[in-house]
Chain A
């Protein structure tokens, strides 16, 4: 049986090793470039007033195509979460927490929670973005409880 690399009672940290990734699109590159520069970018569609993530040429409810890139405050709350003990591939060190985070601007994204213990994670937990540089090509937006130390 696999052994977990981290203690369940320990502080949740970013993945130490490389993580899998896929090729980018012209739209997604804007988001990932933002992460590298410390900005959580999202699409804002003036016609509908909707924020959208993940980026796409049209907004889902209005089907509008006119948008601008905005920078999120990075603050939000945990919508749902799970502690993963059996990862999809050995490259992930466990346990880690996957969560759907609702940002203040109204869009949602999937991420990992860091900077607290597993027992501290709950629905509604106030979190803020923490950028984690994996390598020169990839910086991941993780989330941590507001005000927690890195």
Chain B
């Protein structure tokens, strides 16, 4: 055990603003601000106490909250990475109350095309019609070739996560199911092997996470949460180079893109002094069904090529050994441009605080969350748990 990375810091609260397919009249900043106010209220903290704002549009959020000069993020930082940045700032004494906020609204208007954040603009892939679904499909296809992974196993993941959203009153696709494996396999093909229901949907909404000193958090909330471990793996920029399974940095001993996140997970578990089996719940990033199978392998929950079997037999559903993406994730809860990365952290925090409106894992002490995927050449991992 190397110890928790931010011992003086706690996550006091997390919140989502309302999520919907469209939120007329809203902007990405306005929903991020809505979420920030909800998270501060849940943390028992006043806006005037905020002296750090982090996330991809933090300048606008600072301005819209009417704050004086505060500590802010590096450009475009999102999700787990932005939470790390905020935690490091609190740990270092650069701020005492940090809000990480992100939102997406009003950016996806041309519905004849896929969402703007799914489309690369690189000269080596653009003319060939590549976009996120096809990028992740290239990864999935290679795994199917190497290990015999089946479309039914991919569909099992999609059905489980979509049913989690079906049961979640706060999900965009609440009560839209339930879904069977057959429903997924019968939905129209988007980018083989992904059917429509294997893919994330698109929506709008905001998310925020509030961090402060552990001492202050103990005064304000019943159950402060701490970052037990974290790791961030990246092998290149998103959506610029063909996402080959065995892409490496070109040097001896490099791990390949197919298992990206392995180093991040090992580091996270080492910091926490825990093993994969200690995770009570996994709030995994689910842009496409196969990515869940890949992450379980990369994170050490099962061996290479065993992910397809691992997600079967009810293991990842409610009441299973490793309940996974319990709010419905990007497929059913929300996928609002970039806020969904932070929403994986928020859901992990809610699980540990015991406040989930649906699919609360009883007595959850340790939650793993992730961002990214092999189609995007990066995977970040974070372990959160109740403070001791």
Contacts and interface: CB of A to CB of B under 8 A. Distances in A.
Contact of A81 (B127, B138, B190): B138
B131 interface: yes
Contacts of B127: 19-21, 134, 138, 140
Interface in B109-150: 112-114, 118-119, 121-131, 133-134, 137-139, 141-142, 145
A75 to B, nearest CB: 18
A86 B243 CA distance: 19
A98 B130 contact: yes
Contacts of B92: none
A102 to B, nearest CB: 9
Contact of A61 (B121, B130, B189, B250): B250
A60 B241 CA distance: 13
Given A61-B251, A88-B129, A82 B145 contact: no
Contacts of A15: 129
Interface string A1-35: 10000000000000100011111100010000000
Given A83-B192, A86-B114, A89-B119, A98 B251 contact: no
A84 B124 contact: no
Contact of B121 (A22, A24, A85): A22
A88 B245 contact: no
Contacts of A69: none
A89 B115 CA distance: 10
Interface centre among A24, A82, A111, A134 (most CB of B within 10 A): A82
B238 interface: no
Nearest to A22: B123
Interface string B317-345: 00000000000000000000000000000
Interface of chain B, main secondary structure:
loop
Query: What is the interface residue range for chain B against chain A?
Result: 35 or more
Contact of A24 (B123, B131, B192, B249): B123
B341 to A, nearest CB: 21
A100 interface: yes
Contacts of B250: 50, 60-61
Contacts of B145: 80, 123
B112 A80 contact: no
A3 B324 CA distance: 35
A1 B249 CA distance: 42
B144 to A, nearest CB: 9
A112 B127 CA distance: 9
Given A21-B123, A123-B145, A80 B128 contact: no
Given A79-B142, A88-B113, A123-B145, A110 B188 contact: no
A81 B189 CA distance: 14
Contacts of B244: 79-80, 100, 108
A130 B178 CA distance: 46
A61 B250 CA distance: 5
Contacts of A19: 126-129
Given A88-B114, A110-B125, A111-B128, A80 B188 contact: no
Contacts of B141: 80-82, 123
Nearest to A15: B129
Interface string A67-105: 000000000000111111111111010001011100000
B191 A85 contact: yes
B242 interface: yes
Contacts of B113: 88-90
* Residue among A15, A22, A50 facing the most chain B CB atoms (10 A cut-off): A22
A20 B130 CA distance: 11
Contacts of B124: 54, 109-110
Nearest to B188: A85
Given A22-B126, A82-B134, A90 B112 contact: yes
Nearest to A122: B145
A83 B191 contact: yes
B29 to A, nearest CB: 26
23 contacts: A19-B126, A19-B127, A19-B129, A21-B126, A23-B123, A60-B249, A60-B250, A61-B249, A80-B139, A81-B141, A83-B191, A84-B134, A85-B190, A85-B191, A87-B129, A88-B113, A88-B114, A88-B129, A98-B191, A108-B242, A110-B130, A112-B128, A112-B129
Interface of A: 1, 15, 19-24, 28, 50, 54, 60-61, 79-90, 92, 96, 98-100, 108-112, 123, 134, 138, 140
Interface of B: 112-114, 118-119, 121-131, 133-134, 137-139, 141-142, 145, 188-194, 196, 241-245, 249-251
